[in-house]
Amino acid sequence: MTNPTLAQLKSQYEQLQATYKRDSAALEKQITEATKREQADALAQIRAIMDEFGIAPTDLGSAKKPSNAKKSATVPAKYRGPNGETWTGRGRQPKWLGDNREEYLIKG
pLDDT digits (tens, 9 = 90+) for 55-86: 988 888 866 666 776 777 888 999 998 899 99
- Number of domains making up the chain: 2
DSSP 8-state code for residue 20: H
pLDDT tier for residue 29 given thresholds of 50, 70 and 90:
very high
DSSP 8-state code for residue 95: G
Say if 68 falls within a structural domain.
Answer: no
Mark whether 43 and 82 lie in a shared domain.
no
**Which 3 state secondary structure label does DSSP give 37?**
helix
Size of the chain, expressed as the number of residues it contains: 108
| Structural element, H or E, at residue 103 | helix 101-104
The domain in which residue 17 lies consists of 10-59
Instruction: Please report the pLDDT score of residue 71 as a whole number.
Output: 74
Say if 67 falls within a structural domain.
Answer: no
Which amino acid appears at position 36 of this protein? Answer: K
Say if 50 falls within a structural domain.
Answer: yes
**Which 3 state secondary structure label does DSSP give 52?**
helix
pLDDT tier for residue 16 given thresholds of 50, 70 and 90:
very high
Round the CA-based radius of gyration of the chain to a whole number and report it.
32
**Which 3 state secondary structure label does DSSP give 99?**
coil
Instruction: Please report the pLDDT score of residue 38 as a whole number.
Output: 97
CA end-to-end distance (rounded Å), the chain = 88
Most confident of 6-20, 52-66, 94-108: 6-20
| Structural element, H or E, at residue 31 | helix 6-53
